[in-house]
Amino acid sequence: MISPDDKPLAIRRKSRQIHVGSVAVGGDAPISIQTMTTTPTSDVEATLAQIYEAAANGADIVRCTCNDEAAAEGLAHIVPRSPVPIVADVHFHFEMAMAALEAGVACLRLNPGNLRKPSEIKTIASEARDRNVPIRIGVNAGSLHKDLYSKYGGATPEALVESALMELKLFEEVGFDNVKISVKASDVALMIKAYRLLAEVTDHPLHLGVTEAGPPPAGLVKATAGIATLLAEGIGDTLRYSLTADPIEEVRAGRQLLEALGLRERKGLDLIACPSCGRAEIDVIGVAKTAQEALEKLNLPIQVAVMGCVVNGPGEARGADLGIAAGKSRGHLFIKGKIVRVVPEDQMVQALVEEAERLMEQGVEARLALADENAARLASEDRQALLGEKGQDVNHSLTKIENIKKRISKPKSDN
Ligand code: SF4
């Protein structure tokens, strides 16, 4: 990698740092990659599968829509099982923002163009402040506040920036500044000018994107033109490619751009691990660390998952090439989500290393064909035993859902 002194990029703009769950955004934190799920958030398993696949491909943060009560309830299940922090995308509905906070999301995205009542915005910001949850002010040229549209005669860079600053002012009135900002447009030149202007007037971290860039390859070119120009000027702390495509393509594009600019390191091993939750049967952090150290030595381009339980692990990480999930004092080795072998708990890492080598030599189909025929049955036994012991609601998702229902039936607005 070239040294920082040799980089043909401007020095990065100094922004304050915020934290979206475990991911630092702004300051000297690596520029993070985001995407958004395309499944209904109420479909918990399909959404988690997409989140895990996005994480396996390099997503640091994933956004899910929170557009109705079922979506908010879905978030209550998704958040504790997601390997990356979850941002709730909220438009129009004040109560959806409150419900998403209740569900435990790591960040909210609010659109000032369609969630407009100052009293509601301040109520959301107060609750986010009390929960220490950041908010992205997500201005979008296509849904700009109509007063600003009239004032500036259109969605100009100045109008986009003013929209963001108006929202920021409302937040400041309730002592909330845990904020990142985006001023996206589908017009690349407009988006570039808006971000340049914004970068001069605030030190909040900036989330870059060309909205509705469209399908690849044209969408990729447009998004890259906007995002790369700003990054080269030192502007931007996190980004999303908004493509009309699978979220995985968005993540790969973000990753490739950052690697091409020398802003993120190239990947060999891609180890993902579940965040661990009430279901975990092992010390996920410890096992993941040991596995990372052992697997890195192999220098193989492979995605490996370390999952805390066999109840959900193999399904959640089915996008990974290989993984291990903990059961009743034993590990369940899986390839592309299919259980192939059961090993004693203290041999989990060794089993991963051996299987990684064989998988790279022989290929997925050959290794699946050699799966132990008892493995699936043993996994099923462990799954049932764990469900029997711990029940269905170890993450207290049902309690959160009760609270969401209360929030939605009695919105806490001072209007
Ligand atoms: S312990 Fe199980 S349910 Fe919890 S996050 Fe890990 S794999 Fe998912």
Share of the chain above pLDDT 70, in %: 97
pLDDT of residue 1: 47
**Beta pairing class for 18-20 and 23-25:** antiparallel
CATH assignment, 4-260: 3.20.20.20
Atom of ligand 1 nearest to the CA of 83: 5
pLDDT of residue 269: 86
Cα 277 to averaged position of ligand 1 atoms, centre (Å) = 6
pLDDT of residue 411: 53
Cα 339 to averaged position of ligand 1 atoms, centre (Å) = 16
Cα 316 to averaged position of ligand 1 atoms, centre (Å) = 8
Task: Tell me the DSSP string of 169-224.
Answer: HHHHHTT---EEEEEEBSSHHHHHHHHHHHHHH--S-BEE-BTT-BSTTHHHHHHH
pLDDT tens-digit series, residues 56-97: 889 999 999 999 999 999 999 999 999 999 999 999 999 999
Q: What is the mean pLDDT of the chain?
A: 93
User: Does any ligand 1 atom lie closer than 6 A to the CB of residue 275?
Assistant: yes
pLDDT-based confidence at 162, cuts 50/70/90?
Answer: very high
CATH topology of domain 278-390: Sulfite Reductase Hemoprotein; domain 1 (3.30.413)
Query: Is the confidence at residue 46, as pLDDT, over 90?
Result: yes
pLDDT-based confidence at 203, cuts 50/70/90?
Answer: very high
Which residue's alpha carbon is at the smallest distance from atom 4 of ligand 1? 277
Query: Is the confidence at residue 2, as pLDDT, over 50?
Result: no
pLDDT tens-digit series, residues 364-385: 999 999 999 999 999 999 999 9
Q: What single-letter amino acid sits at 299?
A: N
pLDDT-based confidence at 5, cuts 50/70/90?
Answer: low
Q: What single-letter amino acid sits at 361?
A: E
**Beta pairing class for 238-240 and 207-208:** parallel
Cα 196 to averaged position of ligand 1 atoms, centre (Å) = 42
Edge-to-edge strand list for the sheet holding 322-326: 270-273, 303-307, 322-326, 330-335, 338-344
Taking each continuous run of H as one helix and of E as one strand, the counts in the chain are 15, 15
The answer to whether 141 touches 226, Cβ cutoff 8 Å, is no
Cα 3 to averaged position of ligand 1 atoms, centre (Å) = 39
Share of the chain above pLDDT 90, in %: 85
Boundaries of every domain in the chain: 4-260, 278-390
Tell me how far apart the terminal alpha carbons of the chain are, to the nearest angstrom. Answer: 55
Query: Is the confidence at residue 6, as pLDDT, over 70?
Result: no
pTM of the predicted structure, to 2 decimals: 0.86
User: Does any ligand 1 atom lie closer than 6 A to the CB of residue 308?
Assistant: yes
What would the mean pLDDT of 31-59 be, rounded to a whole number? 95
Residue keyed to tokens 């995985």:
248
pLDDT of residue 3: 52
Alpha helix positions (H), 233-347: 247-260, 284-296, 313-316
pLDDT tens-digit series, residues 308-342: 999 999 998 888 999 999 999 999 999 999 999 99
Query: Is the confidence at residue 262, as pLDDT, over 80?
Result: yes
pLDDT-based confidence at 8, cuts 50/70/90?
Answer: confident
User: Does any ligand 1 atom lie closer than 6 A to the CB of residue 73?
Assistant: no
Nearest-10 Cα torsion for 227, 247, 311, 344: -60
